[in-house]
Amino acid sequence: MATVYKNGAVNISAAGAADGSQGCFRTRESFLHPFKTIKPSDARDPEKLYLVLPNTLWLDNIERAGLQQRGWVLQERVFSPRTLHYAVEQVFWECRQFCACESVPFGLEPGLYDLGLGESHIKDLIPGLMVEGYPNKLEGEHMERTFWKRVVEKFSNCDLTYVTDKLVALSGIASEVQCFMKTEYLAGLWRSHLPYTLLWSARRGKAKRLSPGIAPSWSWASISGPVEYPEHREMAHMDEGGWPQPLIQILAASVTPTSAAN
C-alpha cells in the first residue's frame, strides 16, 4: 500500500460521501458561499481588504468527514504526496506545501488547518528531518517520539470494521518509520522510546479492552477507542535543556506477531 500511494501523482478522495455507495460528485449550489471582506478602521493600508473565513472550514469539510474516520485511510492520506478532496461544500487541495480550496485557491493560512485541537494537519505527521539532521540529538529523538505519538492519537480516533486489523492498518506507516527510527517495533511502540510511549492513556469512558491476541496489554493497540499522551512539558523530570528524562529502565520487552502483516 505504501508504495502505491507514495508513487502516485495525486490521490482522489470522496470526502463528501457518507458511505461507499456515494461518489465524488454531488448536486450543489452553482456558487460558493461568499466570505466576508472587512476593512479595519485602524489598518495601516486603508485600501487593503481582509478576507474573513470560518475557522472550521478545513475541520468541518476534511478532518470531520466520514472518510477520515476510517482507520485504513490514514495510511493512504499520509503517503499520498497530493490529495484532491471532493468535500460536501467544495473541492479541497492538500499537499506537503500547502492546502487550498475553490474559495481560497491561493492557499489557506496554516492556522485554518492546524488548530491545536488534536486535528493537526495530517501532512505534519511526516518528519522533515531525521535525528542526524537536528543540531541536537535529544531534539531529534523528541521529534521522532512526538511524530509517532501524533500518529497513534490520530489513528486511535479512527474506526475499523475488524478489530483484528488494529496493527495491520498501521503497518505501512510503521515500516516506513522504521527506516529512520532505527529501533525495534513492538506492537505499536518503539523499543528505544518505551519509557515515554508507555505513558499512553485511554480517554475516560471511551475505551474497551480488546480480545487477547490483538496486542499485549501494555500497548495502546490492546484497547478500542481514542488514546492520548501527555505533553513533554507535563513530565516531571527534565534535563537542563528542557527535554524529558526517563526515571526507569526497560529490562526486557518482546512480542510474537500473529502474522507477517503485524
Per-residue model confidence (pLDDT) at position 117: 45
* Percentage of residues of the chain with pLDDT beyond 90: 15
Q: Cα 125 from chain centroid?
A: 6
Helical H segments across 97-198, by residue range: 137-156, 171-181, 194-197
Q: Which of 126, 146, 236 is nearest to 197 (CA)?
A: 146
List the domain boundaries for the chain. Answer: 2-124, 127-234
Q: Which range has highest mean pLDDT (26-35, 46-55, 57-66, 237-246)?
A: 57-66
**Which one-letter DSSP state was computed for residue 63?**
I
Per-residue model confidence (pLDDT) at position 262: 60
Per-residue model confidence (pLDDT) at position 131: 45
Question: Is the Cβ–Cβ distance between 232 and 142 less than 8 Å?
Answer: yes
- Segment 164-168 shows an average pLDDT of 89
pLDDT digits (tens, 9 = 90+) for 136-162: 565 666 677 778 888 898 899 898 988
Half-sphere exposure in the Cβ direction for 15 (13 Å, CA)? 26
Confidence label for 115 from pLDDT (cuts 50, 70 and 90): very low
Confidence label for 106 from pLDDT (cuts 50, 70 and 90): confident
> Between 58 and 37, where is the model more confident?
58
> Between 128 and 48, where is the model more confident?
48
- 46, pLDDT greater than 80: no
Q: In residues, how long is the chain?
A: 262
* Percentage of residues of the chain with pLDDT beyond 70: 74
C-alpha Rg value of the chain to the nearest Å: 21
pTM reported for the whole predicted model: 0.79
